[in-house]
């Protein structure tokens, strides 16, 4: 709406207040709501009305005008059912259309509709289809002031130590708006963030975790501080974020207000970023931009990768002082360092310290098992295989610990060296640990394998499957829920072997039959059935029961995808099932089917100026 239209609405408001007759509350409320939706704040409206009262007091002292003005003020305060609402949603309704540009909405759509790395993988929709349908529809809603944010779907994602972290799915419209807002922040922050911020730098994904961990090698520092921010994404204060973005990224005017109101609306809280959407990485990094700039001003050797931080120091005293200073800077905005992950190390031993004692112990066990295999299977072709099969150090960093390289890339690199004795060794080591846990052992026992060790086992075992007892794997998942993706990858590889598909189906049926279990874990474990039709048919009854269950929506969505791929819903019964999903989860299911028809949406529209 133009400034002229805002002026017209203000003129009508004054007319209603200054009339000789009693103002009609419904008409008064309509004009006030019109101004509210055009971006006028509660304070703006109060100021306009108080000016009318002051002028009336000075000139006419008309009692009816005073009564009408008081009625309007009561409506502004929300004193009746016709009163205005000033909650976060209403603020977002008014301000988001003023903050998001069509170009940002369009650029952010690729990220909005990409697959979440928290959920089982799905096809990615082509950009052309996105731009011709969903983006244009969302832009029309913004132009017409019909867009209204909704609360996200929240679920718990497993963390190390049997804890969980909150994750969120946004509705389709909220995804587009969120990534559109993040697009503006990405552009502004990419040139403002100091070079020591490895990732994320706006939308730039070229920085790797290897770049981060190797940064201290270029420092002239005797000590390295290694730390990270505790519960970072959950602790981002929306009001503080809007201030940082306005003051340090130059995104002023409507933008900070719109972003804060949007986050308050979808998160149902004034703190926390939705974990899962790619835009949250952009906003989280921008949240620390002024701290990054302050540390550059102090000339600290530093590297940051999201919430992981490395700092150089010349002495142990300086290292401790810098830790205290960093804690003070973070405390000002409600953040703290994770004490259990904070270490001060000599630079000379920094890399060696990251190669944990647990990993060395695993390699020793594997070497013993390989040597045992040699004794049982003498063959000159295998001479020297133990040394030849050592994983490259870079691969250990990128894959086994930091997950910056995909499983497919790893397997492609090492497939020519995954010889039978080495794989058998990992299977024996894994099986011994799984039996120990299933028999009542604890994961913190001196002889226990770490989650990283078990991840390495699954990596190798996935290249030649079928030799471990899946029953004991229940205990591994129970104690190490963060391994659920690795177990899922192993099950996918094992189910692809026809002779092993039934064993995988039996394991999944047992897992589904448990009364208690994390919804996201079960969704990942069922993911192989989405790709393997034979497995899905073996699980058909169990999958139908999972779809019907209401307490595990993520599991139900994955089960639906598996049944859909074997034609269970060819009779058109899918519509009734899809209606049971929330808009956020339903969108994930629809995108996974990859059947979006651009003709069902509005025709492409030309870029229009921001509604104002």
What is residue 593's predicted lDDT score, i.e. its pLDDT? 77
Q: What angle do CA 236, 233, 159 make, to 5 degrees?
A: 150
* Cβ neighbours, 10 Å, residue 563: 23
User: Residue 317 — φ and ψ, nearest 5°?
Assistant: -65, -45
Average pLDDT over residues 560-575: 92
Lowest model confidence (mean pLDDT) among 168-177, 239-248, 285-294, 519-528: 239-248
Query: Over 60: is that where the pLDDT of 46 sits?
Result: yes
- d(C-alpha 262, C-alpha 285), whole Å: 18
Burial-class residue 334 by CB neighbours within 10 Å (0-12, 13-18, 19+): exposed
* Cβ neighbours, 10 Å, residue 203: 21
Residue % of the chain over a pLDDT of 70: 82
What is residue 124's predicted lDDT score, i.e. its pLDDT? 67
Q: Are strands 153-158 and 164-169 parallel, antiparallel or unpaired?
A: antiparallel
Distances (CA, A) of 103 to 38, 191, 578: 21, 19, 31
Between 174 and 110, the more confident residue is 174
Query: Over 90: is that where the pLDDT of 470 sits?
Result: yes
Token couple for 470: 């899946």
Bridge partners of 157, per DSSP, are 165
User: Residue 308 — φ and ψ, nearest 5°?
Assistant: -90, 135
- d(C-alpha 267, C-alpha 237), whole Å: 11
Average pLDDT over residues 410-414: 48
- d(C-alpha 567, C-alpha 562), whole Å: 9
Between 283 and 370, the more confident residue is 283
**Average model confidence (pLDDT) across the chain:** 83
Token couple for 462: 């996935």
Query: Over 50: is that where the pLDDT of 502 sits?
Result: yes
Lowest model confidence (mean pLDDT) among 17-21, 167-171, 264-268, 307-311: 17-21
Alpha helices in 274-406 (DSSP H): 279-287, 289-297, 316-331, 347-354, 357-376, 385-388, 393-395
Lowest model confidence (mean pLDDT) among 112-116, 248-252, 520-524: 112-116
Alpha helices in 203-253 (DSSP H): 209-214, 232-235, 238-248
Query: Over 90: is that where the pLDDT of 436 sits?
Result: yes
Query: Over 80: is that where the pLDDT of 405 sits?
Result: no
């Amino acid at each position: 709406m133009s400034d002229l239209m805002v002026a017209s609405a203000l003129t009508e408001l004054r007319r209603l207040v200054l009339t000789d007759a009693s103002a009609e509350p419904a008409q008064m409320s309509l004009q006030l709501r019109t101004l509210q939706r055009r971006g006028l704040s509660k304070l703006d409206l109060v100021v306009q009305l108080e000016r009318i009262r002051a002028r009336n007091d000075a000139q006419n002292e008309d009692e009816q005008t005073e009564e009408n003005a008081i009625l309007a003020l009561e409506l502004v305060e929300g004193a009746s059912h016709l009163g205005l609402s000033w909650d976060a949603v209403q603020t977002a309704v008014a301000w988001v259309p003023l903050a998001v540009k069509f170009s940002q909405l369009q650029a952010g759509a690729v990220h909005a509709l990409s697959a979440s790395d928290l959920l089982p993988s799905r096809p990615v929709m082509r950009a052309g289809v996105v731009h011709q349908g969903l983006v244009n529809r969302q832009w029309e809603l913004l132009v017409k002031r019909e867009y209204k944010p909704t609360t996200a779907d929240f679920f718990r994602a497993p963390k190390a130590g049997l804890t969980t972290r909150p994750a969120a799915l946004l509705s389709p419209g909220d995804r587009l708006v969120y990534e559109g807002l993040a697009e503006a922040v990405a552009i502004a922050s990419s040139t403002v963030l100091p070079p020591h911020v490895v990732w994320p730098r706006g939308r730039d994904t070229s920085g790797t975790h290897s770049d981060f961990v190797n940064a201290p090698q270029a420092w002239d520092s005797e000590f390295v501080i290694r730390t990270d921010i505790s519960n970072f994404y959950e602790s981002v204060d929306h009001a503080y974020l809007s201030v940082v973005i306005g003051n340090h990224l130059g995104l002023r005017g409507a933008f900070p207000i719109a972003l804060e109101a949007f986050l308050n609306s979808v998160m149902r809280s004034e703190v926390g970023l939705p974990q899962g959407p790619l835009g949250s990485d952009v906003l989280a990094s921008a949240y620390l931009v002024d701290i990054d700039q302050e540390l550059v001003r102090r000339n600290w050797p530093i590297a940051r990768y999201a919430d992981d931080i490395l700092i150089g120091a010349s002495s142990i005293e300086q290292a401790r002082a810098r830790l205290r200073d960093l804690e003070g800077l973070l405390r000002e905005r409600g953040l703290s360092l994770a004490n259990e992950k904070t270490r001060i190390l000599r630079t000379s031993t920094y890399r060696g310290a990251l190669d944990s004692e647990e990993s060395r112990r695993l390699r020793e066990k594997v070497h013993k098992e390989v040597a045992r295999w040699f004794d049982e299977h003498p063959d000159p072709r295998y001479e020297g295989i133990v040394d030849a099969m050592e994983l490259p150090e870079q691969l250990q960093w990128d894959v086994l610990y930091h997950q910056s390289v995909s499983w497919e890339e790893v397997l492609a690199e090492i497939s020519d060296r995954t010889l039978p004795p080495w794989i058998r060794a990992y299977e024996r080591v894994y099986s011994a640990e799984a039996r120990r846990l299933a028999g009542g052992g604890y994961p913190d026992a001196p002889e226990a394998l770490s989650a990283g060790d078990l991840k390495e086992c699954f990596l190798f075992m996935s290249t030649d499957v079928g030799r471990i007892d899946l029953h004991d794997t229940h205990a591994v998942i129970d104690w190490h829920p963060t391994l659920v993706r690795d177990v899922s990858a192993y099950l996918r590889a094992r189910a692809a072997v026809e002779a092993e598909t039934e064993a995988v189906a039996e394991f999944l049926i047992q897992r589904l039959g448990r009364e208690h279990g994390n919804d996201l874990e079960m969704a990942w474990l069922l993911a192989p059935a989405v790709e393997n039709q034979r497995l899905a048919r073996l699980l058909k009854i169990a999958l139908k029961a999972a779809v019907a269950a209401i307490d595990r929506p993520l599991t139900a969505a994955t089960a639906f995808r598996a049944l859909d791929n074997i034609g269970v819903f060819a009779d058109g019964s899918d519509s009734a099932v899809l209606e049971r999903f929330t808009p956020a989860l339903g969108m994930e299911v629809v995108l996974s089917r990859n059947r979006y028809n651009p003709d069902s949406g509005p025709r492409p529209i030309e870029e229009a100026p921001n509604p104002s």
